[in-house]
Each structure stands twice: as C-alpha cells, then as structure tokens.
Structure 1
Amino acid sequence: MNTPTAASHNRLQHFPVAFFSSVMGLAGLAMALQQGEAILGLPRGGGYVVTIVSLIVFALLAVLYVMKAFRYPEAVAQEWRHPVKMSFGATITVSLLLLAGATLGLWPTLSYVLWLVGAALHLLVTLYVLNAWIYKPGFEITHISPAWFIPVVGNIVAPIAGVTHAGPETGWFFFSIGLVFWLVLFTIIVYRMIFHQPMPERLLPTFFILLAPPAAGFIAYLKLSGALDGFGRVLFHTAAFIAMLLALQLPRFARLKFFLSWWAYSFPLAALTIATLLMFHATGVGFFKIVYYLLLALLCGVIALLLTLTARAIAHNEICTPEQ
C-alpha cells in the first residue's frame, strides 16, 4: 500500500505535458476578452483577470514539470520520444507565445521576455520534432493526429506578439514555417482520417485543432500585413468552414469520456472568436459582431466546463495516472 508521499510522487511521474494546453485556452480567452474591451468597449477587467490566472496556471504547471524532469528524467525523455505525446510537448512553448500576446498591452517588458524565450524554444522544438519525424523508426500513419500541428504549425502564432517585439521579418519567418507545414500536415491528416482506422477516443477532441491554424493564421496575418486582403479572407473563411464541419461532430464529442485532451476545444475556439471580432473590425459587417458575442459566450462556457471537469478529475485521481 502506497503512503501519501509515495502516491504523490507516483502521480508526479505521470504528470502529462499535455496539461499545458490549458494555458493555451486560458491565454486565448484572455486575448478574446481584451480585444472585445478594445474594439467593442466591453467592461474592462475580464481580460486582465484571465491573464493573471493564465500566468499563475503556467507557473504552477512549469514548477510541476520541472520537478518531474528532476525526479523522473526517463519519464520526460519517454514523453518527448513518443510519436503521439511529443507533439504535446510544444504546448509549453506555444503557451509562452500566447502569454506574450496576452500580456502585450498590460506589461510590455514581461511580454517581450515571454516572447523571446517562447520563440527561441519553439524554434528548437520545431527542429527537434521534424528531425524525429524524418529519422526515428517506428512512426506509422496511425500515430498522426491533429495534435501534430502543435509543434510545427504552432509557429504561426509567433507573429501575434512578435511583430511588436522583433519586427515584421522575424514574424514572417515564423508565419511562413507554420503556413507551409500546415498545408503539408493537413493533407496527411485528411488522408489518415479517410483511409485508416479512426483515432482512439482520447485523441478525438484534437480534431478541434484543425480549426486553429487558419483562425490563428488570420490573426497573425492581419498583424503582419496591417490590412484585410484576399488571402486574409481565405484564411478566415477556411476557419469558418472547418468550424461548421466540427459543429456536425458535436453529438459524437458529447458522448466522449473526459480526457485532458478536451482542452483541445479551448484555444481553437478562442482563436476563431478573436478572428471573428477582427473580421468585424476590418469589414464593419454587423453579422461578424453578433457571431463574436455568441462565440465569446460559448468560449467562456467551455473554459468554465473544462476547469470544472479537470478539477474533478484531479480530485478523483483520474489524471496523472498510468495509461490503461
């Protein structure tokens, strides 16, 4: 029988790096509220509070993951070698880039540090993962899921704060990486979904990640180009169509048991919410304003649900346990 200390150590050993996807969702909500405050005059304070919460959650998760790395280095190494789990490792660096965006208008110096560290580390993660995909044996088509977007296509979010901190050329560098590999991986993932066995239930929520590249890409592209043009419209309306396709799958998602992968619903939805508001700001079409309010309400509800389910799963020892 395990003592409480031994049990806590054992749970630390199984602490999943995918936990950082919660920070991505919270930071996305913070930016969605901030944009609403700036463009539509929403009551101020919500974006600030959620930004603080995002920073606290990231700090807590970072401490736990560093402790895991010191106490169970082989467990961390296995995670970063695993053909599925390694993609979730990039949630750490993408979280830093999103936190840089969330803090940009509040604490510019903190935003700069977060972006600099996040961008440098994310570039290294991108190179590491691509190298692993090319040279490591044992990778099969059934290992791929939309989570594979995170390490490589995650570069597409770097310009959101990077244009301010490092200039347009650096922003275009990261945007180009994310855009090109989005198209490559999207093709492979569609092939896998059509011609191979369905993904396991615990990975089904990652389908929502399909929404993130065009939605976040639209936000980044507006930052880089400074105006809405034809390509920006292509990105936005691609995101809108993928959202419609995902909406058809909601009954299937609703039947799933809660997994930590449910946090994959959050950031893509936040990115679409922000993109819709920016589309309203650029075009003045009132329909986009209405859709923004609806998406913002849905996003707040989803984040509240995810926080509740995650807290309950932690309390019932359903997270940080060996996989069955």
Structure 2
Amino acid sequence: MKKTLITGAAGFLGSHLCDRFIAEGHHVIAMDNLITGDLKNIEHLFPLENFEFHHHDVSTFVHLGGELDYILHFASPASPIDYLKIPIETLKVGSLGTLNLLGLAKEKKARILVASTSEVYGDPLVHPQNEDYYGNVSPIGPRGVYDEAKRFMESITMAYHRHHGLDTRIVRIFNTYGSRMRLNDGRVVPAFMGQALRGEDLTVFGDGSQTRSFTYIDDQIEGIYRLLMSDYVEPINIGNPDETTILEFAQEIIKLTGTDQKIVYRPLPQDDPLQRQPDISRAKEVLGWEPQVHRSEGLKKAYDYFKSLSPEELSGNHRNFSAIK
C-alpha cells in the first residue's frame, strides 16, 4: 500500500484529495494546523484504518517515521480574505513549509507535488496564460504575500529537483469551486452563492468586466492526480479555459438560484487581476486532461451543497482565526 502525505488536508482541495487517494488504495496521512481548514471536511475518513490525521503546522518542522511514497503540499490560505488577515503565516507556509516538506521528500526519497496557483501570473499582460509566461506581480502589494509565496515555492521546488535530483511536480491551480468551500472565504463562487442564499444583493467589484475561468472540483482533482503520476516536472496549468466576466457570472448565479437580488458595485481591490484564463495545451498533451464538467452542471452541484449548510455556516461567521499566534 502506497503511503501519501497530504498537507492542508482539512481544507477545500486537500479534503477532496484525501478522498481520492483513499479511493486509490493509499494510506493517507493528513496534516493541517486548522487555521483555515475544518475537521468536518475529513471526519468521514477518521474510522478508516488507512487514514490518519496530524494536527500540525508544517512551517515549524515536519517529521514522520517509516517510509513515504508521495507528498502533496496544499497547506496554505488560498482566499484573499484569509491571506490578507494572516499574511505572515501565508508567507511562512509557502517558504518554510515548502522547504520542510522538500527536505522530508529528500529524506524519504518520495515524490512531491506542490500546489502553486494562477496568481503567479499576477495581473497578466498575456492572455490566455501559458506556463512560459513569467507574470506581472507586485511583490510589495497586499496580494504579494500569496503571489510571491507561491512563486518562491516554485523556485525552491525546481532548485531541489535540479540540485538534489528530487522527484517533483508543480501544479498551477486556476479558480476551482465545489463542495466544502467556506461561504466567507472571499472567493467568487461561495461569495455569490452565500449572498444569494441569504437574500443579499450580489457584490461585484469594479465594473464586472474582469474575467475568471472556473473549474469544478472533480476535474481539478483528476488533473492533480494525473500530474502526480506523470513524469513531467515543469509547471502545468490545471484549469478550465471557459472564460466569463464577473458580471455575467453574477447574473448566472441569480438565474440559477431563482432569486431577485440586485447587483451592487464596489471599488476594485488593489492588484486584482483583470483577466484570468488558462492555456491548457500542455495539460492536454502531457496528461491527456481537460475539464469534463460544464459550468452549468458544476454550479448546480455546488448550489445543492451550499443549500444544505446549517444557518450558522450560511451566515458566513462560523470560522475565525483564534488558532493564530
């Protein structure tokens, strides 16, 4: 039985990865410091013999006994609300956390996949974004704590690959949505869904002409799994090239939810990308991967999930940062 460590395991992507690797017959070691993760996302796995959970911050150190085959490093705040509240922790998990896990992978001779992001492209001057584009990022802007943490993550991962011969993979994740997202995390899909379900007007920043491309969680997990099992070491975009403006997307949510909310406009946050669309030519060629779930289908599934949440969860106030030191 392969043994796989997944960091950020109680988060949105991490919990779905735990499900996938359990289904693939792996022994999964889940690790999370629970600053933004929630044990509810993985509590269904606790009774399983091939699942174990470690409440731990990978930015301090990481030690595990025995053999280890794979490491998937997904420990990081991923939403603007989170990383703007905890900027130091965001930088530390992208730098020190990555360093610690690369060291563990070297010690165990394990293959490691690190979760990068489309945010390494910043506010792009190239559209759509392919993996050869270096990006347009402000290192000192408010979003720089996340963007530069991920850019450093990629740099040190490639350094370990080149210098130590470490078996590494880098996935650049574009906007992903689905079950287990927090309604108060500031990302577009849960923000709009939460406002619609609470009977609030939908908030669009700027004039709504900025674009995003949304990937359903099942497609994202499949792409990540294929990349880990491939022989490809350069970064690969995993995202859906089906691009839409934020204004069009807000109108789509209103139609889906059957609500009659208005759309209200607020100033565009500093350094907010005006365009986001992945070029997935490399994923198609190398992994044989492309999205299978149409946005209308994925949004219906996500809406059904959000409707099932408790009133406390629907209020968006069920998480806090009391674990921060």
Fold shared, TM-score > 0.5 on shorter chain: no
Structure in which a larger fraction of residues adopt strand: 2
Q: Give the structure with the higher percent helix.
A: 1
TM-score, normalized by length of structure 2?
A: 0.33
